[in-house]
């Protein structure tokens, strides 16, 4: 089955920036985020190339979530200046590797990923989401829409299909937005519902289906205790649920065809002064075995990507 690879570009670049030692380009500019991302792309496109691919970027403008909840991600420190410059020029890297890039003012990369995953999820494709976090797990569907995350630096990875999500949370992927809204998400500064932990959230969702179903039963003793917090729960759900950006280009899957050209990639690597990566591209070692799905998410990671 052909694969559509959706890359959470900001997440990957952030992870590479913090995982690798300081490195500069041929012009002396900080470049470790670009170097790490280029290495990851080289590994994927050489050993297990997808038929289609897109890299989705966040934008610097406030998102619609920030407008609804002023404290959204408020605890996060400013992006390091050395990384900001690399984020600005990163689209050139993806284009050099034959991958289209997309962004949209007011929208997060995860929403754009969700848009494309849902848009092509019914096609004869396997959709793989490459990301540094687990916000897109709510999009997982069987083994057809899966999420690959990094679990150790930028080398160890694991693929999360529906079986892995159920093993970890005791819930199907389409309930994870409700789950996250109930328990909160410190990484995004979403408080959740006071007094609801992971076990309680899972139990409530198994009993009532979703947050709307929970608060449709005010007579239940457990729900009655949570009743004063219902508005907070629905706000949190609105914040964590990934939305569709209907105006996103790429309505025809052919527009996302991966166009990896080794000459173009080599030229970019040479310009950046990434000599080791250029040598790896031009004189590759024998390809490794195909990737295998990961075991449950709480088990050790599978193999290496870089």
* Model pLDDT for residues 189-208, shown as the tens digit of each residue: 998 898 899 999 999 999 99
* CA neighbor of 69 nearest in space, from 196, 213, 190, 186: 190
E strands present in 132-193? 145-152, 156-160
Main-chain dihedrals φ then ψ at residue 23, nearest 5 degrees: -145, 145
Q: What is the mean pLDDT of the chain?
A: 92
Task: Reply yes or no on whether the pLDDT at 298 is more than 50.
Answer: no
In the predicted structure, residue 228 carries a pLDDT above the cut 90? yes
What the chain holds in terms of domains, given with CATH numbers, is: 2-169+243-300 (3.40.50.1010), 173-240 (1.10.150.20)
- CA–CA separation, 243 vs 167, rounded Å? 25
Q: To 10 degrees, what angle do helices 275-282 and 262-272 make?
A: 160
More confident residue, 289 or 183: 183
pLDDT digits over 262-289, tens only?
Answer: 999 999 999 999 999 999 999 987 655 4
Count of Cβ atoms closer than 10 Å to residue 126 Cβ:
17
Compute the average pLDDT of residues 162-167. Answer: 97
C-alpha to C-alpha distance for 13 and 275, rounded to whole angstroms = 20
265: left (phi over 0), alpha (psi -120 to 50) or beta: alpha
Res 304: pLDDT: 54
Confidence of residue 71 (pLDDT cuts 50, 70, 90): very high
> What is the reported pLDDT for 74?
92
* Confidence at residue 287, expressed as pLDDT on a 0 to 100 scale: 54
CB-facing half-sphere around the CA of 177: CA atoms within 13 A: 19
Mean pLDDT throughout 8-36? Answer: 97
Whether pLDDT at 68 is above 80: yes
Residue 124: phi, psi to the nearest 5?
A: -80, 65
């Amino acid at each position: 089955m052909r694969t559509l690879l959706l890359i959470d570009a900001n997440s990957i670049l952030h992870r590479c920036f913090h995982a690798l030692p300081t490195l500069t380009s041929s012009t002396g500019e900080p470049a470790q985020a670009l170097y790490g991302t280029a290495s990851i792309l080289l590994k994927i496109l050489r050993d297990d190339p997808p038929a289609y691919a897109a890299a989705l970027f966040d934008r610097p403008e406030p998102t619609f979530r920030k407008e609804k909840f002023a404290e959204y991600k408020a605890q996060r420190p400013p992006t390091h200046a050395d990384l900001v410059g690399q984020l600005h020029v990163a689209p050139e890297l993806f284009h050099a590797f034959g991958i289209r890039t997309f962004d949209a003012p007011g929208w997060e990369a995860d929403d754009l990923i969700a848009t494309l995953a849902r848009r092509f999820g019914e096609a004869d494709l396997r959709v793989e989401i490459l990301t540094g976090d687990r916000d897109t797990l709510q999009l997982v569907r069987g083994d057809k829409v899966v999420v690959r995350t990094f679990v150790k630096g930028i080398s160890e990875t694991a693929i999360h299909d529906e079986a892995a999500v159920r093993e970890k949370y005791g819930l199907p992927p389409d309930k994870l937005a409700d789950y996250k809204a109930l328990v909160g998400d410190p990484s995004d500064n979403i408080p959740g519902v006071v007094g609801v932990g992971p076990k309680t959230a899972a139990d409530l969702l198994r009993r009532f289906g979703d947050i709307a179903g929970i608060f449709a039963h005010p007579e239940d003793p457990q729900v009655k205790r949570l009743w004063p917090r219902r508005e907070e729960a629905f706000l949190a759900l609105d914040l964590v649920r990934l939305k569709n950006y209907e105006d996103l280009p790429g309505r025809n899957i052919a527009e996302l065809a991966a166009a990896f050209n080794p000459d173009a990639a080599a030229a970019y690597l040479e310009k950046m002064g990434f000599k080791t990566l250029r040598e790896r591209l031009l004189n590759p070692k024998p390809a490794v075995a195909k990737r295998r799905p990961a075991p449950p998410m709480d088990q050790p990671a599978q193999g290496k990507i870089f």
